[in-house]
Structure 1
Amino acid sequence: MGYIISLGVGFCVGLLYWLLKVQSPAPPLIALAGLLGMVLGEHAIPVVKTQLFAQTTVEVAGPGKGAAAQKAVAPDTTKQGS
């Protein structure tokens, strides 16, 4: 499956080179910019996942607890009523 994805991405990049009128192999500056984009894209997904699924702190008020009591809750946790 990885080979098919790689072939598809390579084809898209080839189309992009044609649209930008860049000869392949790309000049060094364009190639380095492309590699930088790939590295940034590769590292962006874990950073975004960490930010989206980070634990948040919410205030919980209830019997026997002060109004300032805090509890760490994951964003996907659902509140169950009793």
Structure 2
Amino acid sequence: MQTIDFELDRDHVELNQLLKLAGLCDSGGAGKQVVASGAVRVDGEVELRKTCKVRAGQSVTLDGVVIRIIGSPSAG
């Protein structure tokens, strides 16, 4: 499995936008479609809410890629 560390520079990021920012989708709209398909897991559970708020400490999995959400030292 590939792992991507995503540094969060704010309180949260919406799931569909995270997929775009991490390079797993071409756009936020494509991210919404992937989430709606049931292919995305947040902390091991299938997540169907396209704009689910993902925060530091969580992990998102899609197609064998794990995105670990890391809090920025300056965030908050």
Q: Same fold (TM over 0.5)?
A: no
Q: TM-score, normalised by structure 2?
A: 0.22
**More relative contact order, 1 or 2 (CA 8 Å, 6+ apart):** 2
More strand by percentage: 2
Per residue, is there more helix in 1 or in 2? 1
Larger Rg: 1
